[in-house]
A and B are shown apart, each in its own frame.
Chain A
Amino acid sequence: AQKVTQAQTEISVVEKEDVTLDCVYETRDTTYYLFWYKQPPSGELVFLIRRNSFDEQNEISGRYSWNFQKSTSSFNFTITASQVVDSAVYFCALSEFVGAGGTSYGKLTFGQGTILTVHP
């Protein structure tokens, strides 16, 4: 069965600090997708990035960057020069291509989430 672990429950930083959110996953599938979502206080999850299991290139988008390492089953997310508006709960999620019994593909399995608070 697939599993996602975000070991950091809460992180608190001061504005302009860099912060890395850790994500470790488990899956038996060779084809899968990894996602990061942001959930601000309004409650609506916002898609940030998707990575497929065959693409281990790191990605940078503005102040955000993602480091995917299959060897350690990790997909970590770094925010550079954090801002108060980055304060939110961040979820890492895994979706399998086939899944158990062939019916769970498309099912997102989420981690517990990391609460990030950026202080001015």
Chain B
Amino acid sequence: EAGVVQSPRYKIIEKKQPVAFWCNPISGHNTLYWYLQNLGQGPELLIRYENEEAVDDSQLPKDRFSAERLKGVDSTLKIQPAELGDSAVYLCASSSGTSGGPGYNEQFFGPGTRLTVL
């Protein structure tokens, strides 16, 4: 079974430029997450989707960040314009839903996209 796929793996841009990250979750997983991981820190949730609906985007800085999951499968996270402080690893994860109750199902993570803003 293929894991969570993310691209690109690395991205270097200059500040004020736009950038987009793509994620394809494990087949059949209806829940998709985007996390931000700063160096030396644990991941922090940016947004969670149940199918195509964003059910928790309270941590997403909406002035410059946006995300979409149009057909309930793959997803794109965008930053426009990027700032120096956005340099981090952006992780995508998926889980198989809430069959075990909310919060129960383990999340499967992709390798992440390491963003460097110069």
Binding site for B on A (CB under 8 A): 4, 31-33, 35, 37, 42-47, 50, 52, 91, 93, 95-99, 103-108, 110-113
Contacts and interface: CB of A to CB of B under 8 A. Distances in A.
A112 B41 contact: yes
Interface size class of B (residues with CB under 8 A): 20 to 34
A112 B102 contact: no
Given A43-B112, A45-B91, A47-B107, A106 B102 contact: yes
Nearest to B112: A43
A31 B40 CA distance: 29
Main secondary structure of the interface of B (DSSP, over half): loop
A106 B42 contact: no
Interface in B45-62: 45, 48, 55-56, 58
A97 B43 contact: no
A44 B114 CA distance: 12
Interface string B32-44: 0100000011111
Given A105-B103, A107-B48, A110-B43, A42 B56 contact: no
A26 B41 CA distance: 18
Contacts of B110: 44
Interface centre among B43, B91, B105 (most CB of A within 10 A): B43
Given A33-B103, A47-B106, A96-B103, A104 B56 contact: yes
Interface centre among A31, A33, A93 (most CB of B within 10 A): A33
3 A-B pairs closest in CB distance: A110-B42, A105-B102, A95-B103
Contacts of B31: 106
B108 interface: yes
B110 to A, nearest CB: 7
B79 to A, nearest CB: 19
A103 B53 CA distance: 13
